[in-house]
Amino acid sequence: MNLAAIVQDQTSHSEAVLFYLLAPITVLCALGMLLVKKAVHSALLLATVMISLAIFYILNEAPFLGIVQIIVYTGAVMMLFLFILMLVGVDSADSLVETIKGQRALGIVAALGVAGLLIALVSKGNLGRPFVGLLMANGEGNVQGIARLIFVQYVWAFEVISALLITAAIGAMVLAHREPDSDQKDQRGLSEDRVRQSSQPVAGLPGPGTFARHNAVDIPALLPDGSTSDLSVSDVIAARGHLAKPADYKFIETSDDDREEK
């Protein structure tokens, strides 16, 4: 930093160049944010504005704040905006037809009025001395200076704001919480339902082939209703008429004595 610039009312030349470059971009992006139809475009333009503001903060000897602006504001807040846009309807486009009578005209007049008046009022005031610059205040470093102020002078505000943060987080969770649409039954519930409905076997239906007795190639398989399935034998056998019937084969009784006692 040029020491001479401190005692003058002027900033450094490079700063001026950067300002005059970025300021119109900022204004144009802000204007665009107002005028574009799609909401996502607005969000992105706002992110641009925020980044250029971060650069302005760094230019104004507030590096900590500039970085925080990018991390918190652009990185977190704008992303949050984009998330919500996704949820709400990213395709939803605002129609540009104004429904309230006179709102557009009066709105533009009011905004222009505010801008003009603020600039007029602010320009009337002056500091009465050249601007001081933060060289002295940032003597130990910007972060240390800010830390000294937060934890010593403004510690009460700091504590309150942290409470606010926590409350906001909880509040958002409560607000956004949604009860599930239907009662998803867990495993126990499902099995209870199964037991309740006695028409179904509790263990479920057996797999196919569990009750099959024959696996000969000429005996067709049984369908659940007891009829035979023509698909389970070769057409040739069926055409030759060598289809066997399961009922031809009787069950052979064996006595229990033959079984070994184990």
Q: Does 3 bind another protein (CB under 8 A)?
A: no
Smallest distance, another protein to C-beta of residue 183, A: 19
- Distant-in-sequence, close-in-space partners of 74: CB < 8 Å, separation ≥ 6: 47, 50, 51, 54
Smallest distance, another protein to C-beta of residue 79, A: 11
Smallest distance, another protein to C-beta of residue 143, A: 11
Q: Considering only 111-119, 181-189, 199-207, 220-228, which stretch makes contact with another protein by CB under 8 A?
A: 111-119
User: Helix, strand, or coil here: 221?
Assistant: strand
Instruction: Please provide the DSSP assignment of 109-150 as one string.
Output: HHHHHHHHHHHHHHHH---SS----STTTTTT-HHHHHHHII
In order of 4, 23, 73, 195, the CA distances from 53 in angstroms are 26, 9, 11, 66
Q: For another protein, which is the closer residue by CB, 4 or 175?
A: 175
The count of chain residues that interact with another protein, using the rule CB under 8 A, is 93
Q: For another protein, which is the closer residue by CB, 84 or 223?
A: 84
User: Helix, strand, or coil here: 38?
Assistant: strand
Q: What is the contact mask toward another protein in residues 34 to 73, using x (rule: CB under 8 A)?
A: x----x--xx--x--xx--x--xx--xxx-xx--xx--xx
Among 7, 21, 103, 192, binds another protein (CB under 8 A): 103
Q: Which two tokens stand for residue 75?
A: 């990185």
Cβ–Cβ under 8 Å, residues 69 and 56:
no
Among 2, 7, 21, 92, binds another protein (CB under 8 A): 92
Q: Which two tokens stand for residue 108?
A: 């533009």
Using CB under 8 A as the binding rule, the residues of this chain from 139 to 198 that contact another protein are 142, 145-146, 149-150, 154, 157-158, 161, 164-165, 167-169, 171-172, 175-176, 178
